[in-house]
Amino acid sequence: MSLLSSVCLAPALLAAAVSTTAVRAADAPTVPDTLKQRIAACTACHGEQGQGTPQSGFFPRLAGKPAGYLARQIRNFQDGLRKYAPMEYTVRGLSPEYAHEIAQYFATQQVPYERSPLPRISEAMLRRGQALATQGDDTRKIPACAACHGAQLTGVEPDIPGLVGLPYDYISAQLGSWRTHTRAMVAPDCMATVANRLSEADITAVSAWLATHEVPSGAHAQPPGSVTPPLACGVLGAMGAAR
């Protein structure tokens, strides 16, 4: 074939290739534009209703957590305050409106709680965990978990999450993350302050007690303004400004 013939055939070959691609695109199944489809990246790890993976203890429960808290965590991953590469990649392009839509979906899900596996731990250690969660430790200026997270530790609207029903491994890992600066909040970071006042034994104790504590029937977050945090927390003012 001559060079001239090849040049003359090129447009026809290109047109045929474009036509074939168009046919294949037309034959491809249409992806439904539904919220369920758009949050598939979330539900692949956290479960279709945000129930998490209690048996592995790795992916936390999202179902029933306050929408403001969930939206803030998306923003924290976007801003680099929380470090976990798959989440940072997944949420980096989400708009604030989309983040709130996702948060609202999971906040409204009602899913039974499942008990997660626990390490071998003594009764004395569990009693220590209960004391820290419900009373705190005044000698080391450690406030009770209940002072911020609600009397039944089920959270407070709109920004404070519940702690009961979370896996032991997840709770202890997050407290450790605040100590190692791989998880943070806007200043003043009250959780970093608390976590750094806890010893490793304290973290084990409180994580185990929270993971074993019975979830109240019909658990839900307390109303807004029903607790007065004992420490200054920058996140409360930051979320008020963001909404």
For the chain, give every domain's residue range: 35-242
**pLDDT at residue 15, rounded to an integer:** 52
User: Based on C-alpha coordinates, what's the Rg of the chain?
Assistant: 24
In this structure, what token pair is assigned to residue 25?
């695109």
Q: Are the C-beta atoms of 157 and 223 separated by less than 8 Å?
A: yes
What pLDDT sits at residue 67?
96
Q: Taking the chain, what is the end-to-end CA distance rounded to the nearest angstrom?
A: 68
Assigned CATH class of 35-242: mainly alpha
Q: How long a stretch of residues is the chain?
A: 243
DSSP letters, 196-218, are: HHS-HHHHHHHHHHHHHSPPPTT
> How confident is the model at residue 9, as a pLDDT?
47
pTM for this one? 0.82
Cis peptide, bond prior to residue 96, ω within 30 of zero: no
Q: Which among 158, 154, 199, 152 is positioned nearest to 175, based on CA atoms?
A: 199
Q: What is the pLDDT along the chain (243 residues), one digit of tens a residue?
A: 544 444 444 445 445 544 554 555 456 566 567 888 889 999 999 999 999 998 888 899 999 999 999 999 999 999 999 999 999 999 999 999 999 999 999 999 999 988 888 888 999 999 999 999 999 999 999 999 999 999 999 999 999 999 998 999 999 999 999 999 999 999 999 999 999 999 999 999 999 999 999 898 888 999 999 999 999 998 765 443 333
Residue 137's beta-bridge partner residues? Answer: 142
- Structure token pair of residue 210: 């929270």
